[in-house]
A and B are shown apart, each in its own frame.
Chain A
């Protein structure tokens, strides 16, 4: 049977052999660079910020393109609804806050004024995940993928590193329609290179393998690759798929991976309920049933702590991924 994976080679990645030497850059930096380029390419691109210009990395846009920049203070519901108005009048607004507040606080405005209205607004959700660290549960958005992927017309993108976040920012600026782009606060490993291709809606095979397919998004791609390296030493051959576009998801690649490996592990810095992994399971339940193990936060809130400590505590470190792979294999 022909497979979507036929003839697909794994992407070239940055050198990951020595974790200590991997470059660490916050994904938000890629957004900051991308949004400035998008604004220079198209003067209808505007940036709107709700009192978080430095931490969302919109400050560079403010400095480079002051005439296309709008500051509105602590008003996330306004942020969305006003952007929808601007979009209706021809602008392409990028609106940035912490994911917890936008789309967290502004959800109904997102649904009605952005999505139901079909306006061309791009949400940049910063500081997503427990890796925001010491700020604690109130600031750790781990439900945002779920609440965005259930909205019709919404495109949902979770890039894996700073380079990919820049590419994703430029790509969503080019397309028409409402978008949710999610990124994090901390410095995280840069796994792709400038040359690694990026296409919205097209999952990427970062490692070929036959035993288990690890389907992962966001900053945990690195942990998944490390887990796969370790497991390879024990004779377990994992495919690693960077599933950056949660909606619309690349069903063909997911189904083909389940076909080839017979078991799947999903990995995301998010509640396991309703997130990327849930979507993978929905697809497989209908098209190619296979055992799935879910790595993510299991129905808990986050808390204060060091980012790395929290990733471990909530079971999203490389060792936890290895364990999930072994569980998946046992269920084959």
Chain B
């Protein structure tokens, strides 16, 4: 049974499109920051904030909320944009990204913006913290879950695998990791820089339940998360295959967009493309 009605699916597609728009506008205003990763994870963050998470945007520190951790902090613009469009703060605040005094730091900071749960940016530290949170929930008999969004190149960090081993040891079925498998990192393709394949097998060998899906297909992402939630006795990972720069033609698939923002002209083109896509979604679903 599909988890989303056709009408809801269309709404979420439009929402993800808006989230991408927010990313482009924030990056343009900031004049620095990362483009490819945030754009490719807009669909996953839309599904998480609008469909999956048990949370209260008006009460971000509600005790029983699900915890969403962004381990690869450099893709913060997608989280900030999804939060803004999800009602956590005004969309216009996105334009303060990376500026002096902002809550929207270049890499997320929990003390300035508690709803981000953890401070991140230095790669490879999210799963370990998520493991700690999931373990605490188990110890206290709590029903909230922990979702950790992590990039593929973070899997070159030893700490990530130390956490993976630990989450399996403690059978943390309240922990779901979602990997942005976009095959890019700063110096090029992940498989050239430091090969990660066979990727799914690594998690299987660490005693995780492994799912794969098209991370730019909202229906698939939603269904896959539902399946992961049903797993008992071990943690789950969802390998979300994404297209870096998704939604902006000249960025798609190009690793050089990892860490730079669009200029005015490029941003205008991106916003025009996103608007055309929005009209297409509204016309055809």
A residues contacting B by CB (< 8 A) are: 49, 51-55, 71-75, 77-78, 100-101, 104-105, 133-139, 303-306, 309-310, 313
Contacts and interface: CB of A to CB of B under 8 A. Distances in A.
A304 B106 contact: yes
Nearest to A134: B98
Given A73-B156, A134-B30, A304 B105 contact: yes
Contacts of B102: 304
Nearest to B104: A304
B111 to A, nearest CB: 9
A102 B31 CA distance: 27
A51 B100 contact: no
B91 interface: no
B107 A303 contact: no
**Shortest 10 CB-CB contacts between residues of A and residues of B:** A73-B194, A138-B121, A305-B100, A134-B98, A73-B156, A136-B106, A136-B105, A135-B106, A74-B156, A138-B107
Contacts of A309: 100
23 contacts: A51-B153, A51-B186, A51-B187, A53-B186, A72-B156, A73-B156, A73-B193, A74-B153, A78-B158, A134-B32, A134-B98, A136-B121, A137-B105, A137-B119, A138-B106, A138-B119, A138-B121, A139-B121, A304-B98, A304-B105, A305-B100, A306-B100, A313-B100
B158 A77 contact: yes
B258 to A, nearest CB: 10
A67 B35 CA distance: 32
Interface string B114-158: 000001111110000000000000000000000000000110111
B103 to A, nearest CB: 10
Given A134-B30, A313-B100, A101 B156 contact: no
B154 A135 contact: no
Contacts, number: 96
Contacts of B32: 133-135
Contacts of A75: 156-158, 194
Contact of B107 (A51, A77, A104, A136): A136
Main secondary structure of the interface of B (DSSP, over half): loop
B26 to A, nearest CB: 12
Nearest to A77: B158
Contacts of B244: none
A75 B155 CA distance: 9
Nearest to A73: B194
A137 B109 contact: yes
Contact of B186 (A54, A135, A313): A54
B153 A136 contact: no
A313 B99 CA distance: 13
B124 A74 contact: yes
Interface string B77-121: 000000000000000000000111110011101000000000111
Contacts of A305: 99-101
B193 A51 contact: yes
- In the complex, which range does the number of interface residues on chain B fall in? 20 to 34
B245 interface: no
A309 B100 CA distance: 8
B122 A73 contact: no
Contacts of B190: 73
Contacts of A101: 122
B100 A139 contact: no
Contacts of B33: 134
Given A51-B153, A74-B185, A75-B156, A136 B98 contact: yes
Contact of B99 (A71, A104, A304): A304
Contacts of A313: 100
B73 interface: yes
B185 A100 contact: no
Given A71-B187, A74-B185, A304-B98, A138 B156 contact: no
A46 B109 CA distance: 37
Contacts of B194: 51, 71-75
Given A136-B109, A303-B105, A51 B185 contact: yes
Contacts of B124: 74
Contact of B193 (A71, A133, A138): A71
B187 A53 contact: yes
A138 B153 contact: no
Given A52-B186, A136-B107, A303-B105, 13 more contacts: A74-B124, A74-B185, A100-B122, A134-B106, A135-B107, A136-B109, A137-B105, A137-B107, A139-B106, A303-B100, A304-B102, A304-B106, A305-B99
B274 to A, nearest CB: 24
A11 to B, nearest CB: 35
A304 B154 contact: no
Contact of B187 (A49, A134, A304): A49
B122 A105 contact: yes
Interface in B28-71: 30-33
A310 B102 CA distance: 13
